[in-house]
Amino acid sequence: MQIAIIGAGWVGVVTAAAFADLGHTVWCADLNATRIQQLNHGEAPFFEPGLSDLLTRALASGRLYFTDDNQKAMEAAEVVFCCVNTPTGEDGVTDLSAVRAVAQDFSQHHLAGAVFVIKSTVPAGTAEKVRQLIGGDAVIASNPEFLAESTAIRDTLTPSRIVIGADETATIEIVKRVYEPIIASGAPVFTCDCATAEVIKTASNSFLATRISFINEIANYCNTVGADPMGVAQGMGLDPRIGNVRPGVGYGGGCFPKDVKALLQEGSRVDSPLTVLQATHEANYRQRTLLFDRIRQALGDVAGKRIAVLGLAFKPKTDDVRDAPALTLIEALLDAGATVAAYDPQVKSLPQQFASNITFAPDALTCASTADAVVLMCEWPEFQDLDLNVLKAQMSGSVLVDGRYMWSRKNAEALGFIYVA
């Protein structure tokens, strides 16, 4: 099929490369001309395992094109996927201006009968608004994306489910054809109306976020009663109804925080309180403050202290630092007068307000050199393999802060660390 993907971010680039790999002809557009140039040279604009190879293969197939002209991408497309960003403001209101801009482009320039598919995460009712904006014989579908950064390619090619919302069966069938090879290999398809598809996405992210806040509060409780937080999480997870849960310093990234805020705002707008979700949100940000307080307690005062931060990304195997807990902590440490060194296997630059105030180290041990405290903020596998004895020998102090429950308290204390979690 002939497909257009508008927005070349995590979702757009991975989807475009995957669809081209499946045999479709794909034009992917973005306003960011530098990014498009990079992509045309086969360079992924962010770190995502396997993406470079997939991009190279898709470009070599002659079925994948990148352009900074939305209308050019759309002109021959039977299906147009809107994959642009949908940020929320402080008040939680979703900014749909990018979705509206793409819908506007589509309304002026599309093949007769082309389907406009909203893949961006949006509040319930957005597809209906877009239908009115496009007007005429607009054919709209909602096909939310469930990929997770770090496993984005696997999630795209073997998804847990493909959700397709549309009013007409014919529209659903067209979107299904895009996914045909994936469906043929067993991916479940769930079809519904657009509003239901929109809520499936925001409610799924909100549920996953709630699990995280729940296990984090249980971990805090464990710490006060002398139970092992990781042991409790593992023991709970053996119940298949519970599954894998892992305590830590809270969720971050470009999706969970904004999607939780957006659903809360929507609930309050229509007077349908989401009190559990409100607690999820508050617990998540309290977790960050708690960690800072524990560091302060362990060090006495952080002013003038040298702190080594290991891991900056919001989770391992990505270089995404959007709303990353590490950045909240670094900001608090700098405000309190600490000196910060940081190391992350993939994040090599940060927004200006951080970058100009911290030192980037080339590896974990150099980062820990002369540190009063080492703080683990992202559980990259290479940190699991660190020899804590060698790490300690690098440091001036002995405070080891394990924001992700990666190390054993017993082992760390046996080595002479003051272990904080």
Ligand X SMILES: NC(=O)c1ccc[n+]([C@@H]2O[C@H](COP(=O)([O-])OP(=O)(O)OC[C@H]3O[C@@H](n4cnc5c(N)ncnc54)[C@H](O)[C@@H]3O)[C@@H](O)[C@H]2O)c1
Residue 372 lies near ligand X (rule: CB under 6 A): no
The span of 98-106, 125-133, 278-286, 372-380 binding ligand X (CB under 6 A) equals: 98-106
Q: What residues between 35 and 54 interact with ligand X by CB under 6 A? A: 35
Q: What residues between 110 and 139 interact with ligand X by CB under 6 A? A: 120-121
Closest distance between ligand X and the C-beta of residue 104, in Å? Answer: 9
Pick from 4, 8, 164, 277 the residue near ligand X by CB under 6 A.
Answer: 8
Pick 29 or 157: Cβ nearer ligand X: 29
Helix intervals (H) in 251-360: 256-269, 275-299, 325-335, 352-355
Pick 252 or 254: Cβ nearer ligand X: 254
Residue 70 lies near ligand X (rule: CB under 6 A): yes
Residues 6+ apart with CB under 8 A from 62: none
For ligand X, the nearest residue by Cβ is 9
Residue 262 lies near ligand X (rule: CB under 6 A): no
DSSP secondary structure letters along 349-403: ---HHHHTTEEEPSSHHHHHTT-SEEEE-S--HHHHT--HHHHHHH-SS-EEEET
Helix intervals (H) in 22-84: 33-40, 51-60, 70-74
Closest distance between ligand X and the C-beta of residue 107, in Å? Answer: 13
* CB-based contact 14:147 (threshold 8 Å): yes
Residue 252 lies near ligand X (rule: CB under 6 A): no
Estimate the crossing angle of helix 194-225 against helix 275-299, to 10 degrees: 40
Closest distance between ligand X and the C-beta of residue 124, in Å? Answer: 14
Pick from 5, 58, 147, 395 the residue near ligand X by CB under 6 A.
Answer: 147
- For residues 152, 156, 158 and 163, what is the CA-based torsion angle, rounded to 10 degrees? 130
Q: Residue 146: which of 208, 191, 80 has the closest Cα? A: 208
The tokens for 183 are 């469906």
b/e sequence 39-55, b meaning 16+ C-beta within 10 Å: beebebbbbbeebeebb
Pick from 79, 103, 255, 274 the residue near ligand X by CB under 6 A.
Answer: 255
Closest distance between ligand X and the C-beta of residue 393, in Å? Answer: 39
Pick 26 or 233: Cβ nearer ligand X: 26
Pick from 1, 76, 101, 208 the residue near ligand X by CB under 6 A.
Answer: 101
Residue 206 lies near ligand X (rule: CB under 6 A): no
Closest distance between ligand X and the C-beta of residue 266, in Å? Answer: 14
Helices (H) and strands (E) in the chain, counts: 19, 14
Active site residue 255: yes
> Which one is catalytic: 28, 82, 194, 255?
255
Fill in the amino acid letter for 270.
Answer: V
b/e sequence 245-284, b meaning 16+ C-beta within 10 Å: bbbbbbbbbbbbbbbbbbbbbbbeeeeeebeebeebbebb
Residue 418 lies near ligand X (rule: CB under 6 A): no
Residues annotated catalytic, as ranges? 255
Residues making contact with ligand X (CB under 6 A): 6-12, 29-32, 35, 70, 83-86, 98, 101-102, 120-121, 145, 147, 149, 254-255
